[in-house]
Amino acid sequence: MGKMTKSLVAASVLAATTLASGTAMAELSGNVGVTSNYLWRGETQASDEAAVFGGIDYAHDSGFYVGTWTSSLGGGSSYELDIYAGYAFEVAGIGLDVGAITYQYPQEDNDGDTTEGYLGASYSMFSAKYSITDDYFNSGESAYYIEVGADIPVKNDLALGLHYGMKDGDAFADGYGDYSVSLSKGDFSFAYSNTDNKEVAQTDNARISATWTHSIDF
C-alpha cells in the first residue's frame, strides 16, 4: 500500500508551519516531481519502480492548512490520493503541528484506505512526529509510527537529512524501524534507506533513490 510520511507530505506540513510562523510566502502552493522509487517508512510503494507525484496546499495566516497529494504506483495502473488538514503553530520557539491525513486508492478493488491522526514538533533543524490509526489499512487493528529527523545544512544549499522511524501496534507481529540518510541540493535529493525488520534480510530492504521535486507558489 502506498503512502509517504511524506517526505513529501512532511514537506507540505513544513511549508504550512513556515507560513504559520509569519514568513512571507504565498498561501496557495504546489509541488510536482518524479522519483526513482516511491518509499514510505522504509518500504517501496511502487514495486521498486519510478513514480510521478504532485500536490496542492493552502495555508491560512491563522495556522490552519489543507492539502492534497497524489502519486502513481507500480505498473502505472493505480494511484494514491492523500488528503490532509491540520493546524500549525509555535510555542516558545517550538513549532507544533496537529492534524489528520487519509490515504486513498480509488482504483484498487480492495478497500485499503486508512486515516491517521498526527502530532509533530520542530525546533531549528530537528523534527519529531507521532502518527496513529485504529484501522491500519483495512486490517481492523491499530498501529502507530514515531519518527525523528534532522536537516543539517552543509554548505550553500546542500543539506544532509537524517531520519529514523519506528512502527508498532496490534497490526504488526513485531514492530520494527526504518532509517535513511539523504543529500539534497536545490530540487534534487539522493537517499539511502533501510529497515531493521528481522523477518527480511536487511540487504533485501536497502534501497537508493533519486528524487526531483519542484515547489510552486501561486
Task: Give the Cα separation of 210 and 7 in Å (integer).
Answer: 13
Annotated domain spans of the chain:
7-217
| pLDDT tens-digit readout, 108-149 | 765 678 999 999 999 999 999 999 999 998 889 999 999 999
Question: Above pLDDT 70, what percent of the chain?
Answer: 83
What is the predicted pLDDT for the residue at 106?
A: 87
Bridge-partner residues for 202, per DSSP?
none
Query: What average pLDDT does the chain have?
Result: 86
pLDDT at 186 over 90: yes
Distance CA 36, CA 48 (A): 8
Query: Which one is the CATH code of 7-217: 1.10.3720.10, 2.10.109.10, 3.30.360.10, 2.40.160.40?
Result: 2.40.160.40
The whole-model pTM stands at 0.85
pLDDT band at 199 (very low <50, low <70, confident <90, very high): low
Asked whether the predicted pLDDT for residue 173 surpasses 90, the reply is no
Whether the predicted pLDDT of 17 surpasses 70: no
**Which of 183 and 140 is assigned the larger pLDDT?**
183
| Residue 162: pLDDT band with limits 50, 70, 90 | very high
